Amino acid sequence: MAADRVRQFAEAAGEPVVIAESARQLAVLARQAGWHDQALTLALNAAQAPELREAGTPGTALRGLLVQSAAYTAAWQGDATGLRELTAKAAAIASGLGGTHAEDHGGFNTATVQLHLVSAENSAGDPARALATAHAIDPAALPSAERRARLYTDMAHAHHKWGHRDACITSLLVADRCAPQETHARPAVRALVSGPPAAPRPTSAASLPA
């Protein structure tokens, strides 16, 4: 894999931040392949590397991204407790840094951590928590239009799970205004628009914010 070759070159050159980013990419690939245990191990081992802790602010930001990646993998495993514990650790790292960092890697701040939590709660099968988390995020705090679009597409996914088709479409329209190319390019978004609405959830869904 290309990411593995980059990691090998980075290790040879002694570049801890590059090593960490390569490990994060490998963890994502492992997760997408369904190798969840390996993905967790890759991300968490890289986050605990002493060299990364000594790499200043860039190293700390990458450590947060690695923990955040591990949280998302926990969500794919259906481990709601693990995903929230790891997200809390990533949030603490982001809070300690302040501001936005790792912009070359999509950005890392307290808002992006919560954005990933929205996706994670959706993946873990809890759209109510996903929507509650999403509504607590200030879109202006997200570092790019693409991240803001992701917020609204994730909200659309949560509304779809509840059977709230109108709210789902409204969220998708907002996402499209934020970053149309990003929104149109995602197969999952096209599936939301073209697929049948989910069956409505029990009446507790009515108390959710629109």
Per-residue pLDDT of the chain (210 residues; tens, 9 = 90+): 544 554 554 454 568 898 899 999 999 999 999 999 999 999 999 999 999 999 999 999 999 999 999 999 999 999 999 999 999 999 999 999 999 998 888 889 999 999 999 999 999 999 999 999 999 999 999 999 999 999 999 999 999 998 898 999 999 999 999 998 878 777 777 777 666 556 555 544 444 444
The last residue of one of the domains, among 97, 124, 151, is 124
Q: Are both 116 and 133 inside the same structural domain?
A: no
Whole-number Å distance between alpha carbons of 46 and 17 = 10
Q: How many domains does the chain have?
A: 2
Q: Are both 59 and 133 inside the same structural domain?
A: no
Cβ contacts of residue 43 below 8 Å, gap of 6+?
A: 23, 24, 27, 66, 67, 69, 70, 73
- Residue 49, token pair as written in the block: 């590397």
pTM: 0.84
Which residue(s) pair with 101 in the sheet?
A: 108
pLDDT score at 144: 93
Say if residues 197 and 162 touch (Cβ distance below 8 Å).
no
The last residue of one of the domains, among 72, 93, 124, is 124
pLDDT score at 191: 74
Q: Which domain holds residue 188?
A: 126-210
Q: Are both 199 and 164 inside the same structural domain?
A: yes
pLDDT score at 76: 94
The last residue of one of the domains, among 124, 149, 169, is 124
Q: Are both 101 and 158 inside the same structural domain?
A: no
Mean pLDDT score across all residues of the chain: 87
Q: Are both 87 and 143 inside the same structural domain?
A: no
Q: Are both 114 and 132 inside the same structural domain?
A: no
